[in-house]
Amino acid sequence: MPDTVQGRPVVEICRSGHRSRQTAELPASRDIDAVDVPEGIAPRARAGRPVVDEGGRGGRIA
Q: What is the pLDDT of residues 10-57, one digit of tens each?
A: 888 888 888 888 887 888 788 888 888 888 888 888 888 888 877 888
> How many angstroms from the chain centroid is the CA of residue 44?
12
Structural domain including 21 reads 10-46
pLDDT value of position 1: 47
Whether residue 39 lies inside any domain: the answer is yes
pLDDT value of position 9: 79
Quickly count helices (H) and strands (E) in the chain.
2, 2
- Residue 34, helix vs strand vs coil: strand
Which has more confidence, 4 or 19? 19
Whether residue 21 lies inside any domain: the answer is yes
Instruction: Round to whole Å and give the CA distance between 4 and 31.
Output: 9
Instruction: Round to whole Å and give the CA distance between 28 and 45.
Output: 27
- Counting the structural domains of the chain, the total is 1
Q: What is the pTM of this model?
A: 0.54
Whether residue 61 lies inside any domain: the answer is no
Whether residue 54 lies inside any domain: the answer is no
Instruction: Round to whole Å and give the CA distance between 1 and 23.
Output: 20
